[in-house]
Amino acid sequence: MASLGPAPARAEYWNRKTETLPRAELAKWQWRKLRRALAHAQESPFWRERLPGSIASLDDYVARVPLLYKTDLIAAQQVAPPYGTLPSTDPALGIRYHQTSGTSGHPPMRTFDTARDWTWAVDMWCTALYGAGVRSGQQGMVAFGYGLFMGFWGMHYAMERMGCTVVPSGAMDSRTRIRLIVDQGIEVLGCTPTYALRLIETAQEMGIDLTSESKLKIVVTGAEPRPESTTRAIEKGFGARVYDFAGMTELATVFMFECPSLRGSCHILETGVIEEVLHPETRRPVGYGEQGVRVMTALGREGLQVFRYWTDDLVVKRPWSDCGCGRTWDLYEGGIMGRRDDMRKIRGVSVTPAMVEDVVRGFEEVSEFQTVLRTVRGLDTIIVRVEPRPTAGSDPSGICELISTEMKRQIGIRPEVELAGAGSLPRFEVKAARFHDERSG
């Protein structure tokens, strides 16, 4: 594996002033932006009815403004699709339209952005990418479908603004993308963790060693939780440093990024968002080092605003001083650790997709996998289907027992592990759907 290189001797910033504000000054910054956002929200029928009057401080805001749930947003949009009572600005001013995929038969969340919204959203991306080491003059590729999903649109425009050359790849298959990565000397790649692994698998099928034949230095991944074992697999396959980013359609941009100075933790872009971490049951704030659900307030979007949005993302907040880069923005340890709505109880044990992936990705013999929850002989059961690599040997069946034993050791429950035929399990370009709950009720 090629050397990933040392962390930079000193941090560099897209905007030194905002990224290094003393915490007291940062709080004042957030309050000024929040006051303006609350005043603008009076243009929205939805927020005019929901927000209390005369909010006097950040603490008063947190104490009096009710939590916002995705069901609230969807219901408000359904009053008069596509946007219902939500907009704080005439949608005719929108220059972009995006939507979520929609799940479990529910309608998608639809969004638009004005020119000012998109300028702000792209600047948030620039801040994050610069923090990860992206610089003017580099060659970049964003490997996703360029469809209605918000995805990596902001990364494409941010690299352009930063002075990078961006190779569009929306309609290309994986083999064509691999050829472009090599032939165009791509240095920065953006995609989901799942698709990064797919590209590595495709390169191996083509006989291409990306660690020696490509110029990749930085791989930006997002859109799904990424356990450490997956990070190691991606870095080994590309010979490049992997950075964790996360954004939301409801925000229009990224809200956290990993910088080179602290492995595995992500700075919160606190000049653009206010982030609370609440206990999943009591809804009370939790302290540094305690897991909770992140609640987000957007400070820079004028078209569709969100205040105290319950995201269902599970996080652990750490103080900014844990990172040596000099930024005064707090951190999420391990990024997004999973989603509360993805957690399942199996025989009294709480299991998330990321927990299963962390175990399975620790076995290099596995190229792809799928997890199914079923009731077998009256008992809740985890079934893990694994697709072995062609290089796994003539008798890969032994890997099933090894995975089962390791899941028992790490998670506390022993699954049934089955072999799947080569190429039989689905591959994903955007968000992976490997976790299926087929239990009745």
Query: Using one digit for the tens of pLDDT, what is the confidence trace for 296-309?
Result: 999 999 999 999 99
Q: Is the pTM above the cut of 0.85? A: no
Whether pLDDT at 377 is above 70: no
**What sign does the dihedral 188-194-198-201 (CA atoms) show?**
positive
Whether pLDDT at 427 is above 80: no
- What does residue 19 show for φ and ψ, rounded to 5 degrees? -80, -15
- CATH class of the domain whose range is 344-437: alpha beta
Task: Answer for the pair 240, 232: CB distance below 8 angstroms, yes or no.
Answer: no
Query: Residue 198 in 3-state DSSP?
Result: helix
- Angle at 387 (CA atoms; ends 386, 392), nearest 5 degrees: 110
Q: Residue 141's pLDDT band (boundaries 50, 70, 90)?
A: very high
Length of the chain: 441
Per-residue pLDDT, 391? 65
* DSSP structure class, residue 285: B
Angle between helix axes 193-205 and 228-238 (nearest 10 degrees) is 40
The full set of domain ranges for the chain reads 1-339, 344-437
Strands (DSSP E) contained in 265-355 are 265-268, 273-278, 291-298, 309-318, 331-333, 338-339, 344-346, 349-351
Whether pLDDT at 386 is above 60: yes
Per-residue pLDDT, 430? 59
Query: Residue 9 in 3-state DSSP?
Result: coil
Q: Quickly count: other Cβ atoms within 10 Å of residue 204's Cβ.
A: 17
Per-residue pLDDT, 383? 85
For range 148-158, the mean pLDDT: 92
Q: Which fold has domain 1-339?
A: Rossmann fold (3.40.50)
Per-residue pLDDT, 431? 64
Per-residue pLDDT, 351? 75
